[in-house]
Amino acid sequence: MSATRRVARALDALRHGWAVRVGPWVLLPAETGFGAGVASGHMLISAARATTLKLANQRDAAEPESPVLIRGAEGFDLSLARAMGDPALDLANPLKGPFLAQPIADHDSAVAAMELARLAGVLPAFLVDPSGVEEAQEVSAADLEDWKDPRHLSIASRARLPVSVCESAEIVAFRALDDLREHVALVLGRQSADRVPLVRLHSECLTGDVLGSLKCDCGPQLDAALAAMADEANDGGWGVLLYLRQEGRGIGLVNKLRAYQLQDQGFDTVDANQRLGLPNEARDFPVAARMLELLGVHGIRLMTNNPAKVETLKSVGVNVIERVAHALPANPHNARYLATKRDRSGHFL
């Protein structure tokens, strides 16, 4: 079985609540796992959750999503494991201790397990070597690295697609080996080597793009980007919208909604992600670089307010010739969200 297929099966297993074997451990996802009498003396959780549990030796963890192996005085059943994994439930489920952090013998495997949980869209919390589990899908950290390699991405199909802002447009779909996500590019205007295209990387946002959410600025940013690219096309230039299937900056729809719950409790967007044990930025920028390469785009004028995005794209080989500002007015529902982007993530707003 190929490395990428092992990862695909592992992601499917985590979504269904089945166990995976990563390195030395059999791991059952706390959120989706099931089974009569399933229990374990250990859990793998994030450093952010370890901090919430008052494990003092984890307070200074540099990355909230880093893995921590803990032992419970009385062990963990699935009910307690789920309460342990979801900080949005802390107010309703006071946690019981004490808990003790233990050394992790295979750190790379533990990190891979946490990333697999993120990619599967489940909470980064596992029962370790639980009783009552007979089969586990085997996967390794090396398998995950191979699955993520953008060389697997290729153009699957393309077609003319007139859109409301520009009748001269083409949609291009990309597919990677053993990855169900299908990223797309929308090319507006006539592609030409004589003009540097206006490019926007837009991560999928169901709530903003489709439902008109006022909690973020994703929908208005998408509309404004398409309008600006249409203006370029009408002036003899062209634009490229990369629509990346990376909901919630890569944490998935369900976890994004959990972050919304934490925001309703008073946490900002950065702290909400951290309390979930998830990175504030988990988007796959090498995928965007590969899409541009396959499209034959060698230099871009990037629409963004995020200087870190510019530097990250440059680091993966994208020639960003110019940063084009893309700020939009706030509304009463997203003012704090935008302020957090400015004050904690360094956006130019």
Residues 72-128 have pLDDT tens digits of 888 899 988 998 888 877 777 766 667 888 899 899 999 999 999 999 999 999 999
Per-residue pLDDT at 96: 64
User: Do β-strands 238-244 and 198-203 pair in parallel, antiparallel, or remain unpaired?
Assistant: parallel
Specify which residues 188 forms β-bridges with. Answer: 169, 239
161 class by beta-carbon count within 10 Å (0-12 exposed, 13-18 middle, 19+ buried): middle
> For residues 224 and 205, what is the distance between their CA atoms, to the nearest angstrom?
15
Work out the average pLDDT over 306-330: 91
Collapsed DSSP state (helix, strand, coil) of residue 29 = strand
45 class by beta-carbon count within 10 Å (0-12 exposed, 13-18 middle, 19+ buried): buried
Higher pLDDT, 197 or 48: 197
Per-residue pLDDT at 158: 97
> For residues 345 and 307, what is the distance between their CA atoms, to the nearest angstrom?
9
Determine the number of helices (DSSP H) and then strands (DSSP E) in the chain.
12, 14
Over pLDDT 70: what percentage of the chain? 96
pLDDT-wise least confident of 73-82, 157-166, 340-349:
340-349
DSSP 207: I
Are 23 and 126 in contact by the 8 Å Cβ rule? The answer is no
Per-residue pLDDT at 197: 97
* Residue 84, both tokens: 């342990």
- 56 has a pLDDT exceeding 60: no
- Upstream peptide bond of 103 is cis (omega within 30 degrees of 0): no
Please report which confidence band the pLDDT of residue 59 belongs to, taking 50, 70 and 90 as the band edges: very low
Collapsed DSSP state (helix, strand, coil) of residue 119 = helix
Are 117 and 126 in contact by the 8 Å Cβ rule? The answer is yes
Q: Of 49-53, 58-62, 72-76, which one has max mean pLDDT?
A: 72-76
**Shortest CA distance to 245 belongs to which of 182, 157, 293, 154?**
182
**Shortest CA distance to 17 belongs to which of 87, 120, 93?**
120
Per-residue pLDDT at 349: 67
Are 189 and 166 in contact by the 8 Å Cβ rule? The answer is yes
Amino acid at 259: A
> For residues 327 and 14, what is the distance between their CA atoms, to the nearest angstrom?
38
- 223 has a pLDDT exceeding 60: yes
Work out the average pLDDT over 296-304: 95
pLDDT-wise least confident of 152-166, 212-226, 266-280:
266-280
> For residues 204 and 224, what is the distance between their CA atoms, to the nearest angstrom?
15
Per-residue pLDDT at 90: 77
Per-residue pLDDT at 239: 97
Please report which confidence band the pLDDT of residue 51 belongs to, taking 50, 70 and 90 as the band edges: confident
- 207 has a pLDDT exceeding 60: yes
Are 213 and 206 in contact by the 8 Å Cβ rule? The answer is no
Work out the average pLDDT over 120-144: 94
- 176 has a pLDDT exceeding 50: yes
Work out the average pLDDT over 131-152: 94
> For residues 162 and 44, what is the distance between their CA atoms, to the nearest angstrom?
49
Work out the average pLDDT over 268-278: 86
Is 0.85 topped by the overall pTM?
yes
> 184: alpha, beta or left, given left = phi > 0 and alpha = psi -120 to 50?
beta
> For residues 21 and 18, what is the distance between their CA atoms, to the nearest angstrom?
10
Average pLDDT, the chain: 90
- Any residues with CB less than 8 A from the CB of 334 and at least 6 apart, and which? 214, 215, 216, 217
- 323 has a pLDDT exceeding 90: yes
pLDDT-wise least confident of 147-156, 190-199, 277-286, 317-326:
277-286
Per-residue pLDDT at 173: 98
Work out the average pLDDT over 129-154: 94
* Residue 349, both tokens: 């707003």
Work out the average pLDDT over 214-240: 95
Work out the average pLDDT over 120-138: 93
